[in-house]
Chains A and B, each alone.
Chain A
Amino acid sequence: MILRLVWLHALSRRLPAALALLAACAAGLRGTLYGHWDAYGALQLPLIIEAACAAVIAVTAGSPFGEPERATGRWLPFLRLGAAVALTALAAGLLAAAGTGMPLAGGFPDVLRNVAGLTGIGLLCAVLLGGPLAWIGPLTYSLAGVYALYTDWHPPTLSTPWLWPGRPPHDAGGALCAAGVFAAGLIAFAVRGARENANQ
C-alpha cells in the first residue's frame, strides 16, 4: 500500500524523467571534465551543472492534481519531503560519481553543498511561484555564484557566505548557509507544497 502510494506520487511528479535527467547531467559533467578548461571553466562548469540538477528537482515539485490531492490524507508532506531529499541525495551522488578520477573542482563537499543549497532555493521558489517556475531561483542564483567565483581572480572578492559557491569547499560559513537554505526549502515545501497557479 505504502509502496504503491510512493510509486504513484513519484509518477505524478515525473520523478523517473527527473532521474534520467539527473543521470544525463552527471554524464554531461563527466564529458565536460575531459575537456581542457581554463581556471574559470574548471571552477564554474560544475556549478552550472549543479544548478541544472537543482532546477530539475525543483520543477518536480509541481503537482498535477492541485487542491484535491491535499484532502487525500496525511502522507503528502512526508511524500514531498522524501522525494525532495532522495532526489537531492541522488543528484549529489551522481555528480560526485561523475567526477571520480577527474579534476572536479572542490570535490564531493563542494558538490553536496552547492546542490543542497541550490535545491533549497528551488524548493522555496516552488512554494512561492509554483513548481513549473521554480527553476528561476536556482538558475538566477547560479549566475551570482558564477560571478562570485570570477571575483576570486578579480578583486574585490565576494566573501559573503550567502554566496557559498564562491567559498572554499570546507568553509563552514558557506556550508551552514547552504544547509540552512536547504532546510528552509525542505520544511516549507513539505508543509505547504508547491504553489498552484491556474495560469501555469
Chain B
Amino acid sequence: MSASAPAGTRPSGRAPAIPVPASGRLLRLELRHNVMLWLLPVVGVLFWYNGYREVMALPPMWNLRAMTLQNRLLLDLVIPAVGAAAWMGSREGRRDMTDLLGVTARPRWSRQLAAWAATTAWAEAGCLACIAVVYVMTARQASWGGPLWWPAAVSVAGVPPLTAIGFAAGALFPSRFITPLITVAVFFGFAFSTQATSGDHSNWQISPLISGAFNVGAAPGVATFYRYLPDLSIAQVMFTVGLTAAVLGGLGLPAANGPRLRWLAAVVTAAGLGAAGTAVTLAGTGRLDPHGMIVIPALHDPASGQPVSYTPRCSGTAIPVCVHPAYSVVLPAVTAAVGSELTELAGLPGAPARISQVPVAYQQSSGNTTSIIAALPSPSAFVVPDPVPGQPGATSAEFAGQLAQSLGLQLIIDVVLDGSGRGADLNPSQAELAVIGGSVQFPSSVEGRDLPPPFSRLRDAPGSPVGLAARRFAALTPAARHDWLEHHLTALRAGQISLAELP
C-alpha cells in the first residue's frame, strides 16, 4: 500500500532532517507493519524454554555455551521466522492486491525485498538479543577466555536464508495453507539435516546447526587449549549467504520488471548457487584435527592452530592439582574426587609434586565415531574427564568415578609400584593390591569391569583375603595411611609385607 504513493513524495507529517530515499521509507513502513515484530515474544519464550535454560545450565565455559547456543538458537527461530516471512510474502496474493500494486512505480521485486528485509531485520533483532543475553551472562560467570564470535556469526547468518525461503514460498504460492506447510517443511529439513552427517568428510556439516565436529560438538576440551578454528563456520556463512542470494534472486526472476532487472536477478541467483555449492563442497573436504575441530584445507590458516597461552589454576591440596583456567569451575570437583589420595600420597617417593591437566586428542575413527586419546606425557599429567558436571547427562558421581578410575588409580599405582605399573603389565603382590584397593576411593558406581584386570578383583570379590585387607586399609584416615606408607613403602615394594601385616 505504501508503495502506491508516487516516488519522491512523503506521507503527511514533519519533514525529516535528512531526506530519506523512497526505498528507505518503504523499509520503514514495512518495519512498522511486520508480523515478525509481534512474534518476537514467541521467539523469546521458545528460546528461554528450549535453549536458554539448557545453555545456562552448562558450566560457564565460553566454548560450551557458544557452541551449544549455535545449535539451539536457530532451531528456536525457525518456526517464528519462516512463518512470519511466509505470511509477509503471501500478503499481496492473500489480499488480492498483486494487480493493484503492479501499476506502482516500484518493481514488484523491490517491494518484496523491502518486506523481506524488514522481516529479516526483526528476526535478526531477536537472534541478536538472545545471543547478547547468553554472552553477557557468560561474561559475568566465566573464569577465563572471551566470547567466541564465529558460532554467533553463524547463527546470525542462518536467519536470512530461513526468511528468504519462507518469503519466497509465500510469494509464489499465496494460499492460506502455505505458511504452516512451508514452516513445517523448513523445520523438518533444517532440524533433521544433521541426521545425515557422518564423519568429518560429510557435506552435511554445512548445516548451520552444527558447531565443530559433529561427533565431538560442544566439548570442554575443544577451543580451550587451542583457538577455535573458524574453517567450518566460514563455510557455513558462505553457504547461508549463497542460499539467501539464490532464493531471493530466484524470487526476482518472475517478479522483475524489464530485462535489466531480470538479468540482475539471474546473476544474483547464479552467484548465490555458486557460493552455496562451493561451501557444500568445501565442507566435504573437512577433516577432524587432533584438537577436536574441523579443518578445511582451502580455508585453513595455519597460524590459527597455535596453542593458547594460559596460567593454570591450582588447588591448595597437599599435592596441588593444576587445571586450565577455563576448567576452574570443575577444580573443586576434581580435588573432592581424589582429595584423600592426594593427602595420602603427598611427599612419598614416586608421588608427583604437582599434577597438571593436559589436553586430550581427537581422532576420527571408521564410520561415524570419534576416538578420544588421553596421551599422558608424564606421571604428573592427567586429563579432566569429558563430560564435566553440568553438561547434559553428566553427574557429579560419574565424574568422580571416572577420576578415581584414572587419576586416583594411577597416582597410587605410581607410588606403590614405583612407576612400574605405567605402560607395563601390572603384576602387584597381594599386599600391594590391597593397599591400592584400600587407597583409591572408588564410588559404588564403579564395577570390576571398569578397572584394569588386577584391580577388577577388588570389586568382583570383595570378600576375598585381598578384598578384606583392602577394606581394613580403607578404614584408616588418609593421614594414617600416609604415615603407614611412609614407614613401610620400601618393604611393601620389595614384597616383604604380607596381607596380615597390613593395618
Counting contact residues on chain B (CB < 8 A from A), the size range is 20 to 34
Is the contact region of chain B dominated by helix, strand, or loop, or is it mixed?
helix
Set of chain A residues within 8 Å of B188, measured between Cβ atoms = 45, 48
Q: Does B432 contact A (CB under 8 A)?
A: no
Cβ B177 vs Cβ A48 within 8 A: no
Establish whether residues A55 and B184, one from each chain, have CB atoms under 8 Å apart when the complex forms: yes
Q: Which of A116-157 contact B (CB under 8 A)?
A: 131-133, 135-136, 138-140, 142-144, 146-147, 153-155
A81 contacts the other chain (Cβ, under 8 Å)? no
Q: Which single residue of chain A is at the shortest CB-CB distance from B72? A: A147
Interface-lining segment among B42-50, B240-248, B274-282, B418-426:
B42-50
| CB interface residues, B 55-95, toward A, < 8 Å | 75-76, 79-80, 83, 87, 94
Contact of A52 with B49 in the complex, beta carbons under 8 Å: no
B170 CB → nearest A CB, Å:
12
**B-side contacts of A136, CB under 8 Å:** 39, 42, 83
Contact A143 B177 (CB under 8 A): no
> Residue of B at shortest CB range from A13?
B176
Question: With a CB–CB cut-off of 8 A, which chain A residues contact B181?
Answer: 21, 52, 55-56
Partner of A56, one of B83, B177, B191: B177
Q: Which of A17, A51, A58, A153 contacts B184 (CB 8 A)?
A: A51
B80 contacts across to A, CB distance below 8 A: 140
The 8 Å CB contact of B180, one of A40, A56, A153, is A56
CB atoms of B195 and A41 under 8 A apart:
yes
Contact A62 B176 (CB under 8 A): yes
Residue of B46, B87, B180, B184 with most partner-chain A CB within 10 A: B180
Interface string of B361-398 (1 = CB under 8 A from A): 00000000000000000000000000000001100000
Residue from the list B54, B79, B176, B195 in contact with A143, Cβ < 8 A: B79
Indicate whether A48 sits within 8 Å of B94 (C-beta atoms), given known contacts A140-B46, A143-B76: no
Indicate if A9 sits at the interface (CB-CB under 8 A).
Answer: no
Determine whether the beta carbon of B176 is less than 8 Å from that of A59: yes
Q: By the criterion CB–CB under 8 Å, are A37 and B79 in contact?
A: no
B224 within 8 A of A: no
Do the beta carbons of A48 and B187 come within 8 Å of each other?
yes
Instruction: State in angstroms the CA–CA spacing of A41 and B197 once bound together.
Output: 13
Distance in angstroms between the alpha carbons of A171 and B364 in the assembled complex: 42
Chain A facing B: main interface SS = helix
Q: Are A135 and B50 in contact (CB under 8 A)?
A: no
Closest to B45 in A: A140
CB of A18 within 8 Å of the partner chain: yes
Give the number of residue pairs across the A-B interface with Cβ within 8 Å: 83
Most buried by A among B50, B79, B176, B392: B176
**Is A69 an interface residue, CB under 8 A from the partner?**
no
Cβ–Cβ < 8 Å partners of A138 in chain B = 180
Name the residue among A48, A147, A154 with the largest chain B CB count within 10 angstroms.
A147
Cβ–Cβ < 8 Å partners of B429 in chain A: none
| Segment 34-77 of A: residues with Cβ below 8 Å from B | 37-38, 40-41, 44-45, 48-49, 51-52, 55-56, 58-59, 62
Q: Please tell me which one of the listed residues A45, A131, A142, A146 contacts residue B176 in the complex, with CB atoms under 8 A apart.
A: A131
**B179 interface residue, CB < 8 Å from A?**
yes
Chain B residues with CB under 8 A of A59: 176-177, 179-180
Candidates B54, B75, B79; contact of A140 at CB < 8 Å: B79
Q: A38 CA to B75 CA in the complex, in Å?
A: 18
Interchain CB contact under 8 A, B83 and A139: yes
Given the complex of chains A and B, what is the CA–CA distance between A52 and B76 in angstroms? 17
Q: How far is the CA of A166 from the CA of B457 in the complex (A)?
A: 42
- Shortest Cβ distance from B195 into A: residue: A41
| Chain A residues with CB under 8 A of B149 | none
Chain A residues whose C-beta falls within 8 Å of the C-beta of B236 in the assembled complex: none
Residues in chain A near residue B42, CB distance under 8 A? 136, 140
Chain A residues with CB under 8 A of B183? 55, 135, 139
CA A18 – CA B178 in complex, angstroms?
A: 11
Please report the C-alpha to C-alpha distance between residue A164 and residue B46 in the assembled complex, in whole angstroms: 17
State whether the Cβ of B192 lies closer than 8 Å to any Cβ in chain A: yes
List, in ascending order, chain A residues with CB within 8 A of B176's CB: 14, 59, 62, 131-132
On whether the beta carbons of A139 and B50 are closer than 8 Å, the reply is no
Q: Mark B155-180, 1 if CB is under 8 A from A, else 0.
A: 00000000000000000000111011
Question: Given A135-B180, A139-B183, A144-B49, are A45 and B192 neighbors across the interface (CB < 8 Å)?
Answer: yes
- In Å, the complex CA distance between A181 and B92 comes to 34
Q: Which residues of B contact A147 (CB under 8 A)?
A: 49-50
Name A37's contact: one of B187, B195, B392 (CB within 8 Å): B195
Please report the C-alpha to C-alpha distance between residue A66 and residue B39 in the assembled complex, in whole angstroms: 25
In residues 174-208 of chain B, which contact A (Cβ within 8 Å)?
Answer: 175-177, 179-181, 183-184, 187-188, 191-192, 195
Closest to B50 in A: A147
Q: Which residues of A contact B179 (CB under 8 A)?
A: 59, 132, 135
Give the residues in chain B near A45, CB-CB below 8 Å: 188, 192
Q: Distance in Å from the Cβ of A27 to the closest Cβ of chain B? A: 14
Residues of B within 8 A of A52 (CB): 180-181, 184
A-B contact pairs, 6 of them (CB 8 A): A14-B176, A59-B180, A135-B179, A140-B46, A143-B46, A143-B76
Closest 4 CB pairs of A and B: A55-B180, A135-B180, A154-B392, A52-B184
Residues of A within 8 A of B (CB): 14, 17-18, 21, 37-38, 40-41, 44-45, 48-49, 51-52, 55-56, 58-59, 62, 131-133, 135-136, 138-140, 142-144, 146-147, 153-155, 200
Measured CB to CB, the residues of B under 8 A from A are 35, 39, 42, 46, 49-50, 54, 75-76, 79-80, 83, 87, 94, 175-177, 179-181, 183-184, 187-188, 191-192, 195, 392-393
Given A21-B181, A59-B180, 11 more A-B residue pairs with CB atoms under 8 Å apart are A17-B177, A48-B188, A51-B184, A59-B177, A131-B176, A135-B179, A136-B39, A139-B83, A143-B75, A154-B54, A154-B393
